[in-house]
Structure 1
Amino acid sequence: MTDPAETPPAELARLRRRVAELEAEAAALRASEAELRAMFAGMTDAVLIVDRDGRYLRLPETAPGSRYKPAPEFLGKTMHEVMPPAQADMFLADIRQALGEGRVINTVYSRTIAGEELWFSANASPLTTNSVLVVARDITDQVRHEQALRDNLRQQQLLREHESALLRLSAPLIPIRDDILVMPMIGRLDAARLDQALETLLQGLASARARVAIVDLTGVAEIDEAAAAGLARTARAAGLLGARLVWTGLRPAVAAALASLAIEPTGIAVRATLQDAVREATAGRA
C-alpha cells in the first residue's frame, strides 16, 4: 500500500477530487432511484419488464389497490407459464413486434379474474435490444361505460322502431277498392302521429293512384292545434295527387279544434260515419 506521505501532492489532490465526484454520482443515483420509486409507487398502472421470450424480468411496485397486477411469483417465469396460451401468444407477438420495429405497440385485451371480466390497455415499449417495458392500464370501467352507452342507444333505436310500428298500426291504410283508400285513426292525435299518418296516406295514394281517401276520426278523442292544422294540410297534399279527402266520425272536441283554426276546408268532404263515406265513394258521388 502506498504511504500517503510518499504520494505526490498533485496525485493526492486528483484522487480526492475523484472520490468526491464518485460520491456525488452515488448521491445523484440514490436521489434518482428514490424519485423513480416514488413515481412508480404513485402510478395506477401495472408495470413490468419482460424479455423477447415473454419472461418476467422485473415487476416494479405500482398500482396499489388495483383489481389486478402481476404477482411477485411471476418473476423468472414466462407468460406461457402464467396465462392462457392464446393470450400469451398475443403478448409475445406484440413484444417481438415492438422490439423488431423499435416502437410502442398497443393492445386492448380482457382477462377473467376471480369470475370477473376485466379489460386492459397495454403498451409495450422497447427498453433494450432484448427487453420491453409493458404498462397495462385497467380500462374496465371505461369499457363498461361504453357498453352501457351502446346498449342504451340500441334500446332507444328499438323504442323508436316500436313507436313507428305502433303509429303505423294506429293509422293503417286499408284499400276497399282500387281507387278508394280508408285510414281509420285511433287514440290521441298529435303532430308526430299525424306526420306518420300523412306520409303513409300520401305514399298509398301515389302507389294506388286512388281518387278518394277516407280518413275516419271516430276513434280520435282529442287533437292538438298542430295536428288540427296538419289535417287541413293533408287535404291539400291529397289534392295535389289527384285525390279527394273525406273526413268521417268527427267528435265534438275534434270538430271544435278544427273550427278554432278558422281554416276553410277546401277540397274536404265531411260525413257523419264511415259507412256514409264508403257508400258515396263506391257510388261515385264522393
Structure 2
Amino acid sequence: MSIDDVTVDSLEEENRDLRRRVAELERRLAAYEAASGPARAEAGERTDGTRGVGPAAVEHVDMLAAILDNAPLYIYAKDVEGRYLLFNRRCEEIAGRSFEEVAGKTDFELQPREAAEMYERPERQVIASGKPLQTEEEVPTAAGTLHVLTIKFPLVDAAGRVYGVCGISSDLTEQRRAEQENQRLQAEVVRMQEATLRALSTPLIPIARGVLVMPLIGDVDRRRAEQTLETLLAGVSARGARIAILDVTGVPSVAPEVADGLVRVARAVGLLGAQVVLTGIQPRLAQELVGMGDGLSGLVTRSTLESGIAYAMSAVRG
C-alpha cells in the first residue's frame, strides 16, 4: 500500500466520522425544535426552520452536546407545560428511553401518575417562584431506587419570562449506602465495646467444679448491679454451679440501693439451686445489709475472698 493510499483511507475515515457527527447533530436539533417549538414561539423566536448554523455554531453545539452526554449527571429540561425539551444520555440510560421517545411529552404520558405528580410539584414551584429549588429525593427506576440530589431552576427568555425549567441531578445512591453501612458498623463497634466492658466489669471465673468467683472492682451502680445479676445467673445455669462467690473487696463505695440489688442476686441464684457467698464487705456495705434484716437469709458472708473460697471448697466436698 502506498502513502497516497493511506492518505486517501484516512481522509475517507475522517469524512465518514464528520458525516456521522453532522447526522447526530441534525437529529438532536430536529428533536429539540419539535419539542421546543411552542415554547420558542411564545418567547417570540423564529420557528420557520431557519437555523443560520455555520461551522462555528455547529462546533459550539457539538461541544455542548458532548458535555451534556458525558457529564456524570442527569440533565433534563421541560417547558412550562411539562413537555421535555432536553434529555441527556444519562437520563436515556436510566429511563430506558431515547430523547426522541420523550421529546414533547410530559411525565404523565411516560410515568405512573404518582411518580409524575412527584416530579411535577417542585417544577411548578420553580416556575411560580422563578427561583431555583434544591431537593433530595428517591427516584424509582427499572434498575432500582436512586437517591438523588437535584437542583431545578427556571429557564428565562430575553424578555425575562419563564418558558421552562431545567433539572440537574447527581446520584447519591452509593454515597448513602456507604453512609448507612458506616452507621451500621459504628453501631456494631459500640455494641461490641459495650459487651467487652460488661465482660470486663463482671468477670466470672470458675475455680473448681461447682464453684464460681465474680470479683467486682470499682463503683457499683444500679446498672452494673443488673449486669452482675444477668452474668451470674447465666454462669450458674450454664456450669451447674453450686456456689457463686461475689467478692466486693475492690468496691470503694456502694450506693444504698445496690445492697438491695446484691440481696436480689442471692435470691435469684438460690432459685437455681446455688448459693451466693459475699466476701470483702466494707463497713458501709455491712451497715446497709444489716438494715435489710430478713433480706439476708440465704446469703453467706465472709470477710475475705480467701475465707470465702475455703468455705466454698468445704461445701462442695461435703
**TM-score, normalised relative to structure 2:** 0.51
One-letter amino acid of the counterpart of residue 278, structure 1: I
Deviation of residue 77 (structure 1)? Answer: 1.0
- In structure 1, the partner of 2:251 is 220
On the 8 A contact 1:168/1:197 being kept in 2, the answer is no
1:102 lines up with 2:134 in the alignment: no
1:250 lines up with 2:258 in the alignment: no
Most deviating of 75-84 and 209-218: 75-84
1:168 lines up with 2:156 in the alignment: no
Which ranges in structure 1 are unaligned for 5 or more consecutive residues? 1-50, 61-71, 110-118, 124-131
1:135 lines up with 2:132 in the alignment: no
**Aligned mate of 1:120, from 149, 154, 164:** 149
One-letter amino acid of the counterpart of residue 255, structure 1: A
**TM-score, normalised relative to structure 1:** 0.56
**Aligned mate of 1:202, from 230, 233, 243:** 233
Deviation of residue 155 (structure 1)? Answer: 4.5
Matched residues in 1 for 2:217 and 2:30: separation?
Answer: 71
Deviation of residue 228 (structure 1)? Answer: 1.8
SS at match of 1:193: helix
On the 8 A contact 1:54/1:92 being kept in 2, the answer is no
Deviation of residue 52 (structure 1)? Answer: 12
1:180 lines up with 2:211 in the alignment: yes
Matched residues in 1 for 2:229 and 2:32: separation?
Answer: 69
Structure number with higher helix proportion: 2
Matched residues in 1 for 2:292 and 2:31: separation?
Answer: 79
Matched residues in 2 for 1:251 and 1:73: separation?
Answer: 88
Most deviating of 223-232 and 273-282: 223-232
* Percent identity (aligned): 30
On the 8 A contact 2:276/2:299 being kept in 1, the answer is yes
- In structure 2, the partner of 1:93 is 93
Which ranges in structure 2 are unaligned for 5 or more consecutive residues? 1-27, 40-59, 76-87, 120-136, 140-147, 153-163
On the 8 A contact 1:238/1:245 being kept in 2, the answer is yes
1:158 lines up with 2:189 in the alignment: yes
CA RMSD of aligned residues (A): 4.5
On the 8 A contact 2:74/2:170 being kept in 1, the answer is no
On the 8 A contact 2:69/2:89 being kept in 1, the answer is no
SS at match of 2:220: coil
Matched residues in 2 for 1:54 and 1:261: separation?
Answer: 90
1:268 lines up with 2:299 in the alignment: yes
One-letter amino acid of the counterpart of residue 168, structure 2: A
Deviation of residue 259 (structure 1)? Answer: 3.5
Matched residues in 1 for 2:29 and 2:244: separation?
Answer: 77
Most deviating of 255-264 and 159-168: 255-264
**Aligned mate of 2:224, from 193, 217, 233:** 193
C-alpha distance 180-204 of structure 1, shift in aligned 2 (>3 A)? same
On the 8 A contact 2:267/2:298 being kept in 1, the answer is yes
One-letter amino acid of the counterpart of residue 71, structure 2: M
**Aligned mate of 1:211, from 236, 239, 242:** 242
C-alpha distance 89-184 of structure 1, shift in aligned 2 (>3 A)? farther
- The superposition leaves residues 134-170 of structure 1 with CA deviations (integer Å, 9 ceiling, x where unpaired) of 5336898xx89x95x9867864653453233112112
Q: How many residue pairs are counted as aligned between the two chains?
A: 203
Deviation of residue 274 (structure 1)? Answer: 0.9
One-letter amino acid of the counterpart of residue 256, structure 2: E
On the 8 A contact 1:213/1:244 being kept in 2, the answer is yes
